[in-house]
Amino acid sequence: MGAFTIHVKYKGGKRDSLEKAITLLQTYLKGAIDKQKTFDSSSAVLVEDGTTPSLQDTDVIVYMVRNISKSVIKAQGGSVATAEANDKILGMTDLNKKICEVYCDRLYEDSPKELSGAIYHETAHIKSNQDNAMHTGKTGFLGASPDYNGSPTDDNNTFLANNLAKKLTMNASY
């Protein structure tokens, strides 16, 4: 067994919010880790812009960008039209390009709670390889209008746990 890791690459926004969000995210991941048998632990780590971490084939990288104009997805030729049309969307995942990102300027008062929930949400998208279909029948962190005020629901953790071991290739150098 090994560890599941979410790398959060800092490309903009308030750093203190990100550091607090990583601490929250680590507590949230424990609920998913406890529901599966592939990993014995998990971690969420801060990655500085300009640094390229080595990713395992089960790791996830989520880019924290200042705003949608700084989108990594868009810079790599993907579409963020849905997020451009709806300023309530905190993050996007491009399943074809294997890129996840969260927009700092859309967080309520730079809320670490919202940030950690949005990272969890985008991680679930990329690990399940599901677009908005992932939201069907989901509440809490994984609903179409996610509620990041609490913690991931038991169903959220089960869904993520069922997808954690899926292998994927993400680029950590954007």
- Is residue 168 assigned to a domain? no
Residue 103 CA to residue 66 CA, distance in Å, equals 6
Which residue in the block uniquely carries the two structure tokens 């509440």?
Answer: 139
Domain count, the chain: 1
Q: Is position 106 within any domain? A: yes
Q: Which residues contact 92 (CB under 8 A, 6 or more apart)?
A: 71, 73, 80, 82, 83, 100, 101, 122
> Is residue 160 domain-resident?
no
pLDDT digits (tens, 9 = 90+) for 143-160: 999 989 889 999 999 999
Using an 8 Å Cβ cutoff, are 7 and 61 in contact? Answer: yes
Q: What percent of the chain lies above the pLDDT cut of 70?
A: 100
Domain that holds residue 11: 2-155
- Model-wide pTM > 0.75: yes
All residues at 6 or more sequence positions from 155 whose CB lies less than 8 Å from its CB, including other chains:
138, 139, 140, 142
Residue 166 lies in a domain: no
Instruction: Give 12's pLDDT tier (boundaries 50, 70, 90).
Output: confident
Q: Which amino acid type is present at position 92?
A: M
Checking if the pLDDT of 16 tops 90, the result is: no
Residue 28, CA distances (Å) to 54, 125, 138 in order: 23, 16, 17
Query: If you search the block for the tokens 């069907």, which residue do you land on?
Result: 136
Q: Hey, which residues does 91 pair with through a beta bridge?
A: 102
Q: Which amino acid is at 143?
A: G
Residue 57 lies in a domain: yes
DSSP 41: E
Residue 162 lies in a domain: no
The one-letter amino acid at 11: K
In a domain, 90, yes or no: yes
Report yes or no on 164 lying in a domain: no
What CATH number is given to the structural domain containing 66?
3.40.390
> Which amino acid is it at 84?
E
